[in-house]
Chains A and B, each alone.
Chain A
């Protein structure tokens, strides 16, 4: 029975090298970093080293890193924390309509309950945001822009440095020191340049479980001088902005995971791009009435997102699962809300395209043989489901 995991955008397996450095902190090195004795110092030192190692990779200062429980918390802290602390300087926020829900729902909360005005920029049909759209939306009332580095469903890579540049320019011209730029880089961390100086961002979210690190770990980079209102209260940890005893083992693991993916990203990206393209070309070439969602050029090395027209994603997901292939779908049927993928809809395609979308996200363990197996297994499964399906969606809706 095959066991082909193509859902690395959902989460990655823990790298054994990461687990190894974590283990002592789950065992004998159990001290609380806030304790004033030697057991506490062991933990404090470990966290300091982890923070310094991360800061060096991101080219920032160690005191600009806040450890959190993951991507969702980092996004929420960046958006809610910043907006609430700085609302006297403006109440306009810019984001995109295809952000991760951790950003979208935090922003919607501010819009619905706390008097903020939000501009949702729409990506083009290729899943790209034009820096000009951001520049046009900026106004003197804008305090926060949040745009993802790479999209979690379709893997499109946004021109973050360019967008950051134009925000910086606007900030300088109009003298708006409180206008800041946040990016959710969770999907990008393993594959893209994470030099924050070059990205021109003021806040950045990344997390462990997308980079072969432990679940429940993440961080928020916050440029020196930026003030955030905490979401929680009750301790001095992380400068009081994120109180609570630190997850020492998790932080050690996150630092190791970041170090490894960034060190290996050039070779791993090159390897995965070949497999990704083989999978995309293989599916589009062997199965009719399919479309690649998201730009082919500006695309993460590990993301393949294809809509199989006339069939429903959950059904295909289950057929693949039974063949030992684990993927993900934008179909309404697997979401708790029964709403289909907001990302595919944001590209301007109708519900039919979203219902039939499948994401295959590659990773460390993906081999050429895996891709060949998928390409051999997939066509008959799609053919079976199409033979059950009464619909034939007109090309004008999906081509």
Chain B
């Protein structure tokens, strides 16, 4: 039938209909628009932080402790130091355990029991930070009888461990097996091989994991609310309530005082600069050598 033939060839050469092309352009436009809408708040957050924060950062802000309500001036020096102190406590506990667990998973844990630990680490990763705070409160604060820097550190360490363990494992698995075999062939014992050959090879990747975990907990507030608790004065004792930058931002942000709002913006700017520096460092380290694409 000549008619059918014409019809088929018609379809074969028919240009894509206006309707379908329209839908296609609309979809392209819509997804580009989605990107713009998502980047808008990012720009707005950073813009406001810089706009509001930069004017309030001065020498006094970085070196003084908070003044009583109603007096202008004062700063967040104790909160900045307190954050560093709590993070140091958290890292001392969280980094070795996290890396150790990562080594176990990569070097010994290629079996059912390893899967159990792997799964548990993922579960731990998903626990809401406020719940971690409750647990740190129950373990440390209740047994000590008061809020403390140690309790805050324990809470943050619990949050660091799963991230570090999983990235360490991933990075160690990237090290080719031939490297391990070469070491064994030279008569190097297994633990020496793991520490001085395998872990050494994956160092930059492991550092990436540690920095990611660090960036993640550096701004955490919820688990510190009833562990570190906050403090208006200097504190260097491990068993005393300690100020933290994120806590101070929270307290100042919900207060009714303009002076405190100003300082909250300044504190937030300092916090975000620290975190962005950490994340960018990760980016730089991760884009080198064998770790490319492994992030």
A and B form one complex: no
What residues of chain A have their CB less than 8 Å away from a CB belonging to chain B? none
What residues of chain B have their CB less than 8 Å away from a CB belonging to chain A? none
